[in-house]
Amino acid sequence: MTVYTTYLSAYIDTSIPPMNGWTATAGLSTMITSPSVLLIGLCLISLLILGGLWLKGLYPKHEFRRGRSTEKPTEMSSTYDSVTGLPTKRLFGTLLEQAVGRAAKTSRSIALLVVELEHFRVVAESQGQANSNVLVRVQAARVKGVLRSTETVARLAQDQFAMILDNLTSHQEVTAQEVTAIVEKLQATVGLPLTLDGHELFLTCRIGVALYPQDATEHEGLIKQAMRAVQTAKTEGQAVRFASPIVSSAAPDPTPVASSFANLLP
């Protein structure tokens, strides 16, 4: 036991030799506090911080958080309709506001059309969700096909579409005739038969029209006027209703709404 103790003591004494009058512990402290070591440490810390910032930029914060990956689809679904791919009411307001701004600069007119499908809710309940989605897609494509590629179509509600007809002439009577021609095409296109599961379905529509700047000079006012016009058309049994009575009297009488409710159900 004495031999092992003596050997261990000798090992400890000789394994830590003095360094210029200092012990090994003192030498280590001196090395840590030296400028060169501190500089190297600061460089390493800086590299770690820069690396973290680079990773943060490469992978945004929301990708690391659980449940945040659905933010982008939610935003898309609030601006574009999931069934038709058309802009929703939320995005449509922005597009209409931009159109009004352009018209104000060019002194041109704008027509806002609200198209409401007749008896669509009854058809949707009788045909089921899948077929009602097909029906909406077909009608959306038909409505969009009537307009020019530069004009806007949106889906405001389950049975409502809205259209912006811009770059119209500023002359009131000519504008009414241009819009009426589009309205008649819309009625004829929406009224085309559609076959689903062997059943031939027919839909009609009612249309409300508001004009800029005759009916309103702001996009919110135009939407209110067009919605009020389509409600008046439903109440009075009309196919088309212009918000301005003067324009309504100047425009040709459109094709009346046909009562085809009996053909809607299988």
Q: Dump pLDDT digits (tens) for 133-172.
A: 888 999 999 999 998 888 999 999 989 999 999 878 766 6
Burial class of residue 260, CB neighbours in 10 A (0-12, 13-18, 19+): middle
SS3 235: helix
Determine the pLDDT at residue 155. 95
**Using CA atoms in the order 20, 25, 27, 32, what is the torsion angle rounded to 10 degrees?**
-170
Residue ranges of the chain whose pLDDT lies below 50: 1-16, 19-26, 28, 58-73, 75, 249-266
Determine the pLDDT at residue 92. 96
SS3 150: coil
* Distance (Å, whole) CA 130 – CA 218: 38
* Distance (Å, whole) CA 165 – CA 207: 14
- Tell me the domains of the chain and their CATH numbers: 2-58 (no CATH), 78-263 (3.30.70.270)
- Which two tokens mark 264? 């809607």
Determine the pLDDT at residue 144. 92
Determine the pLDDT at residue 3. 43
Q: In what order do the strands lie in the sheet with 240-242?
A: 152-157, 160-168, 109-117, 205-212, 240-242
- Segment 80-118, tens digit of pLDDT: 999 999 999 999 999 999 999 999 998 888 999 999 998
Token pair 């600069």: residue = 105
Determine the angle formed by the axes of helices 89-106 and 219-236, rounding to 10 degrees: 110
Query: Where is 153: in which H helix or E strand?
Result: strand 152-157
Determine the pLDDT at residue 85. 94
Strand partners, 39: none
If you average pLDDT over every residue of the chain, what do you get? Answer: 75
